[in-house]
A and B are shown apart, each in its own frame.
Chain A
Amino acid sequence: MSVLVFSLLLTAVAFIVHFIIWKIRIPVHQKSILLCISSVILIAGLGILFYRKQYISLLGVKAPQEFHEYLQISVFFISISLAYMVTYSALEADSPSLVMIMTIAKSGSRGLEKKIFEQKMNNEILLSPRIQDLISEKLAYVEEGKYKLTPKGLMFARIFSIYRKILKRSQAGG
């Protein structure tokens, strides 16, 4: 029970800290700050729990006493943090599929013509911001008017290319 209670506590603290910081000011490098928050809360939280375990209890449940319990809390916290960070990526950028669904839903029983998508969703809306993201995330750079991959971008591109080959995915995707 102590593992469950204190895993949820650490997760809740991390989310509250994240929420407070975001309400004060949304950082420029959001994912990096999220990673920092998770790391600090995990290390500090586990440290406080471990060194003060005799004195800490929550809802009648004592702090974890064994090392393996702290390991289990870490696995839980890291898993939840990773899941939240991948979800967060979906919040940062507008997903074209979700925008299309909402646009169709708004048209109700009248339905929606395909040309409406083409008018509303052009290269400026769908591609330019993503290309800018590649630059700001240091995955690509511009040299003499051409976009090229940085070593970091090359690594990411290789990981996904290799994985698609493993899965035998032939369609271009995107």
Chain B
Amino acid sequence: MKAMVYLHIFSPVVGLGVNVICQICYCRYRLNASLLKSTFLGFLCGMAILFGLEAIYIAQSALTIPKALPSVSVNLISYASLGYCYFHFINLGETARRIRLLRELIRSQDGLSMDEILKHYNAKEIIENRLSRLLKSGQVVYKDNRYYIGKPVMFFMSKAVLFLKVFILGKKSEFE
């Protein structure tokens, strides 16, 4: 019973482990795997395990569902937070400028001058990469040599981030 209690407490961490394993397997073994799809799939698999463990815990501890709900909610929020962190970790590896810069620097034995860095990675590539992603996901559409907002998900995310920047940092941009 004690083992079950501790498994219940650490079920978000177990769920995260399953999330990571499933996401990696999907990426490695499926041809042309979409990174975003693999992340969602991993998250769902981890959540399924979490619910499974919680169900076993509720059955073994003979709790009623209303009594168990607060504790299960805590674990659900913990798992969602950990899953979000993992999503960000993958996203950093894929899109972060600092990480790309670190990877460029690790490839060079003797370091890189600013000119050498810009030869490998520069504003043009940054814009191209992002436009390519935004066009692929339909967040932006290209028509008559101009860009327009497509699906508004990223637009709403941008508004939310802007709001948080003003609320917490008191400014809209790092350049203010």
Contact = CB atoms under 8 A, between A and B. Distances in A.
B168 interface: yes
Interface residues of B, number: 82
Interface in A71-88: 71-73, 75-76, 79-80, 82-83, 86-88
A127 B123 contact: yes
11 contacts: A5-B70, A26-B170, A71-B9, A75-B9, A79-B77, A80-B81, A94-B173, A126-B126, A145-B113, A168-B28, A169-B35
Contacts of A167: 24, 27-28, 35, 90, 93
Interface string B156-175: 01100110110011100111
Contacts of B158: 98, 101-102, 105
B81 A83 contact: yes
A93 interface: yes
B28 A169 contact: no
B140 interface: yes
Contacts of B105: 140, 147-149, 153, 157
A68 B7 CA distance: 11
A22 B154 CA distance: 27
A157 B161 contact: no
